[in-house]
Chains A and B, each alone.
Chain A
Amino acid sequence: MGCSMKVSLFITCLSDAIYPRVGEAMVRLLARYGVMVEFPSVQTCCGQPAFNSGYWKEARVTARTIIESFEDCDFVISPSGSCTGMIHHYPKLFEEDPVMHEKALKLQSKSYEFSQFLVNVLGVTDVGATFAHKVTYHPSCHGSRLLGVKEEPLALINHVKGLEFVPLPFAEDCCGFGGTFAVKMPEISGAMVTEKSDHVKETEAEVLVGLDMACLLNIAGNLRYRNEPVRVMHLAELLYEGVKQA
Chain B
Amino acid sequence: MSGGGHGHSNGATVKERADIALNNDFLRKAVKFTTERLKGGKLKATDEHGNWEEWRERGKQIRLHTVAHLDYYLNQFVDNARANGVHVHFADTAEEAVHISLSIAERKKAKTVVKSKSMVTEELHLNHALESIGVDPIETDLGEYIIQLAGETPSHIIIPAIHKNRYQIADLLSVDAGETLEPDTQVLAGYVRRKLRTKFLEADIGMTGCNFAIAETGSMVLFENEGNARMVTTVPKTQITLMGMERIIPSWADLEVMATLLPRSATGQKLTVYMSGITGPRRSEDADGPDEMHIIIVDNGRSLQLGDPEFQELLNCIRCGACLNACPVYRHIGGHAYGGTYSGPIGAVLKPSLQKNVAEWDDIANASSLCGACYEACPVKIPLHDMLIYLRRRKIEQGHGDKVEAAGMKGFAAIMSKSGRFKTVLKLGKLGQKLVARNGEIRIKVGPLKGWNSYRVTPSLPKKSFRDGWGTLEAELRHGLQEIAPEARARMEQIVKDRAKGGGHGHGHG
A residues sitting closer than 8 Å to B (CB atoms) are: 1, 3, 5, 11, 13, 15-18, 20-21, 23-24, 27-28, 31-36, 39, 41-45, 47, 49-59, 61-62, 64-65, 74-75, 85, 88, 91, 105, 108-110, 112-113, 116, 120-124, 141-142, 145-149, 172-174, 176-179, 181-195, 217-218, 220-222, 224-225
Contacts and interface: CB of A to CB of B under 8 A. Distances in A.
A88 B465 contact: no
A74 B510 CA distance: 19
Interface string B419-455: 1001000100100000000000100000010111011
A88 B505 CA distance: 9
A217 B417 CA distance: 25
Nearest to B409: A55
A240 to B, nearest CB: 12
30 contacts: A1-B486, A5-B493, A13-B422, A17-B465, A18-B459, A18-B461, A20-B468, A41-B467, A53-B405, A54-B396, A55-B413, A58-B409, A61-B413, A62-B412, A65-B418, A141-B370, A145-B375, A145-B376, A146-B372, A148-B508, A174-B371, A178-B370, A187-B18, A187-B19, A187-B22, A187-B451, A191-B332, A192-B369, A217-B458, A217-B459
B416 A62 contact: yes
A35 B492 CA distance: 11
Given A55-B406, A148-B509, A225 B455 contact: yes
Given A141-B373, A178-B370, A147 B510 contact: yes
Contacts of B394: 54
Contacts of A21: 462
A213 to B, nearest CB: 10
A178 B456 contact: no
A183 B448 contact: yes
A65 B396 contact: no
A187 B21 CA distance: 11
Given A54-B362, A55-B393, 5 more contacts: A53-B405, A55-B401, A58-B409, A174-B328, A186-B455
B76 to A, nearest CB: 35
Given A61-B413, A74-B492, A224 B457 contact: yes
A59 B410 CA distance: 10
A31 B477 contact: yes
Interface in B472-510: 473-474, 477-478, 481-489, 491-493, 495-496, 499, 504-510
Interface in B379-422: 389, 391-397, 401, 405-406, 409-410, 412-419, 422
Most central of A39, A51, A64, A113 by chain B CB within 10 Å: A39
B369 A176 contact: yes
Interface residues of B, number: 89
B373 A172 contact: yes
Interface of B: 15, 18-19, 22, 328-329, 332-333, 362, 366-373, 375-376, 389, 391-397, 401, 405-406, 409-410, 412-419, 422, 426, 429, 441, 448, 450-452, 454-459, 461-462, 464-470, 473-474, 477-478, 481-489, 491-493, 495-496, 499, 504-510
A141 B484 CA distance: 32
A184 B489 contact: no
Given A61-B417, A145-B375, A186 B409 contact: no
A183 B451 contact: yes
A179 B448 CA distance: 13
A147 B509 contact: yes
A20 B491 CA distance: 29
The 8 closest A-B pairs by CB, nearest first: A186-B451, A178-B369, A221-B456, A54-B392, A174-B371, A148-B509, A58-B413, A190-B455
B413 A52 contact: no
Contacts of B478: 36
Most central of A148, A187, A220 by chain B CB within 10 Å: A187
Given A11-B466, A34-B483, A50 B412 contact: yes
Given A54-B389, A55-B396, A109-B506, A145 B462 contact: no
A39 B507 contact: no
A173 B36 CA distance: 11
A141 B401 CA distance: 27
Contacts of A36: 474, 477-478, 481
Contact of A192 (B332, B416, B462): B332
B430 to A, nearest CB: 9
Given A17-B465, A108-B505, A58 B412 contact: yes
A192 to B, nearest CB: 5
Nearest to B23: A187
Contacts of B466: 11, 15-17, 20, 23-24
Contact of A121 (B328, B332, B373, B495): B495
Contacts of B426: 17
B413 A34 contact: no
Contacts of A88: 506, 508, 510
Contact of A181 (B369, B415, B467): B369
Contacts of A53: 392, 396, 405, 409
Nearest to B425: A17
Given A20-B464, A188-B367, A33 B413 contact: no
Contacts of B418: 44, 65
A95 B420 CA distance: 28
Most central of B333, B389, B401 by chain A CB within 10 Å: B389
B509 to A, nearest CB: 4
Contacts of B458: 217, 221
